[in-house]
Structure 1
Amino acid sequence: MALPPSRVIGKSIQALDLAPVVTSITSLLQNLNPKTLDTQNLSSEPLNRFSTYLDTNLVTQVINKQTNPYHALFFFNWASNPNPNPNNYTHTNRCYEAITNLLLSHSLFSPAIQLLEKSGKLSDFFIGKIIKAYGNKGDIKAAFFWFNKAKALEQETFLFSFNAILGVLVKASEINLLKTLFDEVVEEGLVQPDVSSYTALISGLCKVGMVDNAKKVFDEMSCKRNLVTFNAMMNGYCKKGDMENAYSLFNQMMMNEEDCLPNLITYNTLIDGYCKKGEFEEATKYMNKMEKAGCLPNVMTYRAIIYGLCIKGKVDEAKKMISKMRLNGLKDDTAIHVSILKGLCAVWRPEEAIEYFRWMESCKMDLDAHAYGLVVYEYCKLGKTSEALLLLEEMRRRGVRPKRWPINSVLRTLVEQGQLSRAVKLLERMPRFGCLPNFMSYRTVICNLCKGKGKMIVVNNLVDKMLKQGLLMDATMYNCILERYSKDENEEKAVQVLNEMIGMKYIASLESFSSFVKMLSAKGMIDKGEIFFEDICRTCPTVDRDSYRRVLDEQLATNNTRLE
């Protein structure tokens, strides 16, 4: 690519279109291809022909253009000491900020820190960036290390670092630590919080539902609120479903007392809040208001409105809203179509939901486990277990890990259809799908196996697996097993199960107790029934003693009649 004549540069670097120069430098860096921090054996001489063009704008644009951080660092280091240097170029803070941002975004902490230390730029501002980068990685310990370092380095203030660590704690949902740190720093007079500090605290409190505490901070701020602060408070109210206070806050903003007129985020937050509460008419009203205020709806706006229509069962209207969105030049996303899918499922249009899902697949949408799960559930509604199982296999092949609830739906449908062998097979294959069976998975299959004869070996195997997984049986499962053993006249196993139940203070149901007593009576052991009756009543005082006594007496009467 041809470069601008160098004689023009000295006259007006600012006026020059730097795009061709940036592209040429990027191409050269790709050819040189530095791959590590050690570039001693790589000559930077080919870059010398660009020294005439050096200025802050060029350097920052070149750095921001690089996808490989080593390319950017190689260029930055060359530009630190170019030869020749006709413009007496030196890096500005903007250049250091650009290279620091890029290195930290690739988790190259050591090179970034060494660069800042060597240049004497390791200030509160740049430490704030280091803290935020460690927070993005989830390394709160390292973030605090650098926050403490900022306190030690800065003689007067470390506001950037303070705000950065507050942001890290908000992101990590460490709200108790957030409050403690904020209060300690303020009480010690180490930092005078600014609007960003208060906004971080408000956001954190709202995130964990402490909206009243957030409002107290909002009301008592020692500095002027900004639009971000209002939006953080608005988000707290809307997440809580407190649309009355959200409405009041909106009116406060509209009065413009603090130069904080609602913006796109404000309107979207309100619209989403009303939609999730099912107040679609109010949501529509605010969408109209935002348009009149010259604030054009974006994808988030339509996403909320379409979701609101779908939960109201107005799926066809939601589809029309997608058309309106497209006419306004906006592109619909996967989340919007998942809302349509949910809506079709909610209004019991399973065939249409399945067809819509297949269309989404054909459009190469990035479908997640929830979207697949919805369709698996719809197949179960239609009793199409084979199709549901095929879809689960399709998920596995595509690397999508299913949630338990759709698999449990398939298990329920299989046992309802009497396909117990397939249910057992699916239960045993669940780990292949990336999720272990839970209590409901086991109970669904085990209790239904107990309804028929000859399945207790399978039941015992499943119980063993369940217990090894750390899951415990409940009273329902025990009763199913007790009843089956009693009907099979397996007195040893039935007695063992009932003793376990009594030991765990589980109440034997009237049905299972009746089957147990009948078994004892048939074996001429009705006197054991009396003993177990007393044990049950003693360990479970809340049991309906009269009903259990009646079951036992009826069997005693039947037994006496038979003896006569």
Structure 2
Amino acid sequence: MVSLSLSSHQLSSNQRFIPISIFNSHLRYFCSDPQEQPQNARPRSRNASKTAKTIANLINSKPFSNGLLSSLLSTISKTTVLRTLRLIKDPSKALRFFKWTQQKGFSHTPESYFIMLEILGRERNLNVARNFLFSIEKHSKGTVKLEDRFFNSLIRSYAEAGLFKESMKLFQTMKSIAVSPSVVTFNSLLSILLKRGRTNMAKEVYDEMLGTYGVSPDTCTYNVLIRGFCKNSMVDEGFRFFREMESFNCDADVVTYNTLVDGLCRAGKVRIARNLVNGMGKKCEGLNPNVVTYTTLIRGYCMKQEVEEALVVLEEMTSRGLKPNMITYNTLVKGLCEAHKLDKMKDVLERMKSDGGFSPDTFTFNTIIHLHCCAGNLDEALKVFESMKKFRIPADSASYSTLIRSLCQKGDYDMAEQLFDELFEKEILLSKFGSKPLAASYNPIFESLCEHGKTKKAERVIRQLMKRGTQDPQSYTTVIMGHCKEGAYESGYELLMWMLRRDFLPDIEIYDYLIDGFLQKDKPLLAKETLEKMLKSSYQPKTSTWHSVLAKLLEKGCAHESSCVIVMMLEKNVRQNINLSTESLQLLFGRGQHERAFEIINLLYKNGYYVKIEEVAQFLLKRGKLSEACKLLLFSLENHQNVDIDLCNATILNLCKINKVSEAFSLCHELVENGLHQKLTCLDDLIAALEEGGKREEAAFISKRLPRLDNLNGSMPNHSTKKFRPIKA
């Protein structure tokens, strides 16, 4: 055996590290010859029938077509369909096979619908999965009813994809169509909420479970609650649920205790956790700690750097006949590394081989890489990483993220980018092997790439992280801002949508950059959509932002959208711009949206704002929209606004010419009521038109005012352009 002890020149001043030559020599002791390592070993399905395998192989190897399986149609049975679905690799092909069997007369069962839903959800085809779910009753012609397990499957799939809101919406939909949630449904929801830190919402769902639906919790429910509250640093609340279990006749199992032990250890209360373990047998007869229990205790002591106690727990564990597993050994290796107990780590490595027959795995290597990186020994860390390839130990996300982050901290961005490219090309993040990726650990390389115009490269890794259901708000922010700086605003907006779907709150700066960018690119519709998302995020845009968006919408002739912006401004008490409001009305009238135009002007005046009515009326007259001009002038008079007598004259005369004398009279009548008719020069024409139209009473009404008007005309100069009725304060 090669010794792992280190000489003084192998120690840094503050931190010890393991030379790669020593680690490699030790590794050879554990690892078999690389040639003996099986490649791409996959567990073979022992239960799949020969027919199912034949069908699946055909579908997996060839493009799907209706004639592909015609010769095997007679051999298809319920069992064959179920097994074939599980063996098809491509979810889209699985769905085609599912539909093909249905077209050939096969009656799918609840089980086959459930399996198909699971396949779609597992592969993140979530929109397809949702449509499939709500088509079950239709496609089965009512023979298969929607039941809670279908919804449970998709709720879990949404959660695994990080779509928390979608899970909750589906739960609400489930209730609205009278599908009663089961204890499994509630267990899934509680797990989702607590993983997101929504402890108050979790309590509400728990109360709804007991009160509204009368669903009795089971041991799994309490395990979820205890784990969730403990991981949210609410250990006391976890114990409250632990004590509540007896009232629902739920027996605590070893998982319950392990969860409590984990919560206590995370809170630094390792001694209390140990006492709890010691009391397990006394509390429940036949209930004993297992390997997970002791491994959790060992981790707790290692976190406090009390490694001597951790080793005592290891001995206690083995004395009870429990055999440490790889996780136990890796936990100890990590703790001993962090406590710089390298001699003891050598003993643990030797014990791994002699007692357990274990070899160092990915986690072991990651621990050593992390130790070297923390000590600033980056070259040694890279050598350990290279040795993983030599001994065919697969690297995972943690292997890459630790090195990439350390390289960025050192300023070696070229090497960091090289590893980053390798991470993407090998699809390490998409592999379910190893630790789940931590999106935040890649922020340094994201920032570097975005600063150097390589945001697309950063985004493609972000998308891989999203597929694994892991994301970080800061990562989104970095990449979105990178797109904005490169002028790729639509790409930034697309990521913003992903961010919002995952219930993250974007920085206000993101919205400002995107809106400004879309306006610069002459894309006001996207600017408006971004502004709407900004409001939903509870941000209040600046008044200048509102006006800029509105101005660009008007410039591009977006009539309806510009009116929507005015309505939103009124709802948010944002100051209006009289010129923009006037232009918006002209655009609406010009597009024939007369009702909308009058709706907007009414809202504006109701909220204390005005428009240039005479300008709009003149616009309408020029375009022959006389009825609308008349209605607008009437609106102005009713609201005690100034009117231009020449404009009124022109409107009345033109209405008379097209035989709309009733409208002409209504405008004249309103002018009379307001005492503004004396300067009208169109009265003779109006009287003639009224008489010709058989409206003698209206003509008489106007005639009674003519003498006085004639007298005034003879004694006063013409001031037909003079405006009357000042605006009331």
What TM-score range do you get, normalising by the shorter chain? 0.5 to 0.7
Contact 2:130 2:154 (C-alpha < 8 Å) held by counterparts: no
Change (3 A) 1:148 1:251: same
2:536 maps to what in 1? none
Which amino acid is the alignment partner of residue 46 of structure 1? S
How much has 1:292 moved relative to structure 2?
A: 4.3
How much has 1:372 moved relative to structure 2?
A: 4.3
**Is 1:47–2:67 an aligned residue pair?**
no
How much has 1:27 moved relative to structure 2?
A: 1.5
1:279 maps to what in 2? 306
1:237 maps to what in 2? 264
Change (3 A) 1:155 1:18: closer
Larger radius of gyration: 2
Change (3 A) 1:23 1:294: farther
Gaps of 5+ in 1: 1-15, 84-88, 409-424, 437-467, 470-564
Aligned residues: 388
Change (3 A) 1:337 1:428: same
Which amino acid is the alignment partner of residue 249 of structure 1? L
1:341 to 355, 366, 369: 369
Change (3 A) 1:184 1:21: closer
Contact 1:131 1:164 (C-alpha < 8 Å) held by counterparts: yes
1:547 maps to what in 2? none
1:447 maps to what in 2? none
Contact 1:309 1:315 (C-alpha < 8 Å) held by counterparts: yes
CA distance in 1, matches of 2:374, 2:47: 56
**Is 1:109–2:129 an aligned residue pair?**
yes
2:196 to 166, 172, 182: 172
Q: Which has the higher contact order (CA 8 A, sep 6+)?
A: 2
1:442 maps to what in 2? none
Change (3 A) 1:64 1:313: same
Secondary structure of 1:255's counterpart equals helix
TM-score by length of 2: 0.46
Secondary structure of 1:178's counterpart equals helix
CA distance in 2, matches of 1:72, 1:405: 40
How much has 1:371 moved relative to structure 2?
A: 2.9
Listed one character per residue, the Cα deviations across residues 503-554 of structure 1 (whole Å, up to 9, x for unaligned) are xxxxxxxxxxxxxxxxxxxxxxxxxxxxxxxxxxxxxxxxxxxxxxxxxxxx
How much has 1:357 moved relative to structure 2?
A: 4.7
CA distance in 2, matches of 1:427, 1:93: 49
2:171 maps to what in 1? 147
TM-score by length of 1: 0.58
Which amino acid is the alignment partner of residue 368 of structure 1? Y
Query: Percent identity over the alignment?
Result: 27
How much has 1:24 moved relative to structure 2?
A: 1.0
**Is 1:22–2:48 an aligned residue pair?**
no
Which amino acid is the alignment partner of residue 96 of structure 1? Y
Correspondence list, 1:95-244, <5 A: 95-106=112-123, 107=125, 108-114=128-134, 116-118=136-138, 119=140, 120-154=144-178, 158-188=182-212, 190-221=214-245, 222-224=248-250, 225-244=252-271
Correspondence list, 1:329-368, <5 A: 329-344=357-372, 352-353=380-381, 355-360=383-388, 365-366=395-396, 367-368=399-400
Secondary structure of 2:215's counterpart equals coil
1:482 maps to what in 2? none
Which amino acid is the alignment partner of residue 155 of structure 2? I
Contact 1:342 1:374 (C-alpha < 8 Å) held by counterparts: no
CA distance in 2, matches of 1:23, 1:123: 30
Change (3 A) 1:258 1:407: same
Contact 1:124 1:154 (C-alpha < 8 Å) held by counterparts: no
CA distance in 2, matches of 1:248, 1:217: 19
2:88 to 52, 61, 66: 66
1:369 maps to what in 2? 401
CA distance in 2, matches of 1:265, 1:288: 15
How much has 1:349 moved relative to structure 2?
A: 6.8
2:348 to 321, 325, 336: 321
How much has 1:201 moved relative to structure 2?
A: 2.0
Change (3 A) 1:75 1:252: farther
Change (3 A) 1:30 1:175: same
CA distance in 1, matches of 2:450, 2:165: 41
Contact 2:174 2:180 (C-alpha < 8 Å) held by counterparts: no
Contact 1:392 1:402 (C-alpha < 8 Å) held by counterparts: no
CA distance in 1, matches of 2:174, 2:452: 53
Contact 1:338 1:371 (C-alpha < 8 Å) held by counterparts: no
Which amino acid is the alignment partner of residue 160 of structure 2? N
2:328 maps to what in 1? 301
1:312 maps to what in 2? 339
Correspondence list, 1:474-489, <5 A: none
Which amino acid is the alignment partner of residue 371 of structure 1? L
Change (3 A) 1:111 1:98: same
Change (3 A) 1:330 1:375: farther
How much has 1:306 moved relative to structure 2?
A: 0.5
Contact 1:313 1:346 (C-alpha < 8 Å) held by counterparts: no
Listed one character per residue, the Cα deviations across residues 17-51 of structure 1 (whole Å, up to 9, x for unaligned) are 645333212122235533xxxx7x65652331423
CA distance in 2, matches of 1:406, 1:150: 42
Listed one character per residue, the Cα deviations across residues 455-483 of structure 1 (whole Å, up to 9, x for unaligned) are xxxxxxxxxxxxx99xxxxxxxxxxxxxx
Listed one character per residue, the Cα deviations across residues 166-206 of structure 1 (whole Å, up to 9, x for unaligned) are 12212322222112222244244542222222222222211
Gaps of 5+ in 2: 1-45, 425-439, 459-473, 476-508, 511-729
Change (3 A) 1:196 1:365: closer
2:273 maps to what in 1? 246
Contact 1:319 1:340 (C-alpha < 8 Å) held by counterparts: no
CA distance in 2, matches of 1:192, 1:403: 43
CA distance in 1, matches of 2:48, 2:441: 50
Secondary structure of 2:360's counterpart equals coil
Change (3 A) 1:91 1:427: closer
